Amino acid sequence: MEKQIILEARSICKSFYNPVKVDVLKDVSFKLSRGDYASIIGKSGSGKSTLLYILSTMDTEFSGTLLINGVDVKNKSDMELADIRNEQIGFVFQFHYLLNEFTALKNVMLPGYKLNKVSEEELEHNAFKLLKNLGIDGLAHKMAYQLSGGEKQRVAIARAMINDPLIIMCDEPTGNLDNKNSEIVFNIFKELTETYNKTLLVVTHDLDFAHKTERIIELDDGKIVDR
């Protein structure tokens, strides 16, 4: 059976004007299928974050085509794009952006309130189950500021999963972690692709991490390097 294409970039180009035109992404094309575990690598300034910003529908000023689960995101309203992000994309960043004065459990629940598809009771149940799967249910009622860096990142991963997205996009998710915690995060992502059939797209400058993923997309000066 053909695998479902979750994300497809077709000839994406992006330029900044500051004030002269600088071409930052040049004809970027690739596809990600359901369950793929891919990393994006490249030197600083090669366009990784710019690309992720476009792929996550946050930046709509580009030429080319972006399909998310078969839907062309061009000409969607801001509201429609916000819905696509809420329902289909989970985010994990270098800095976790947890709300410090909320418990781990509440932090995981937050994107669920926004989506508003299940009762608060069910949402709490789902959040707890995610924390349990990540081995940190014991931390559910701790405040975010009481957690270590590695624990916070695991809470951020649970939060990214709460709306059951198709794809999780990450920008330097291990940038702030030691080797042991980086490996824990790598293995959690692997588990999400294998057990939950999630698609993982991870921007990273950690080559050890990247080489363990199934697929590497390398950017050099805004172009994909053939490998």
Shortest distance in whole angstroms from residue 145 CB to ligand ADP: 28
Shortest distance in whole angstroms from residue 215 CB to ligand ADP: 18
Interaxial angle between packed helices 104-115 and 120-133, expressed in degrees from 0 to 180 and rounded to the nearest 10: 130
- Which does residue 159 touch among Mg ion, ligand ADP, none (CB within 5 to 8 A, set by kind)? none
State yes or no: residue 176 binds Mg ion (CB under 5 A).
no
Checking DSSP bridges between strand 63-68 and strand 5-17, what pairing results, if any? antiparallel
Residue 124 to residues 37, 46, 74, 110, 116: CA-CA distances in angstroms?
A: 28, 41, 35, 10, 13
- When binding is defined by CB under 5 A, the residue of 33, 49, 86, 176 that contacts Mg ion is 49
Count of residues of this chain found to bind Mg ion when the rule CB under 5 A is applied: 2
Tokens of 107: 């932090």
- Which does residue 149 touch among ligand ADP, Mg ion, none (CB within 5 to 8 A, set by kind)? none
Shortest distance in whole angstroms from residue 40 CB to ligand ADP: 9
- When binding is defined by CB under 6 A, the residue of 35, 47, 90, 173 that contacts ligand ADP is 47
Rounded (to 5) percent helix, strand, coil in the chain: 40, 30, 35
Residues that bind ligand ADP (CB under 6 A): 16, 18, 24, 42, 44-50
Residues that bind Mg ion (CB under 5 A): 48-49
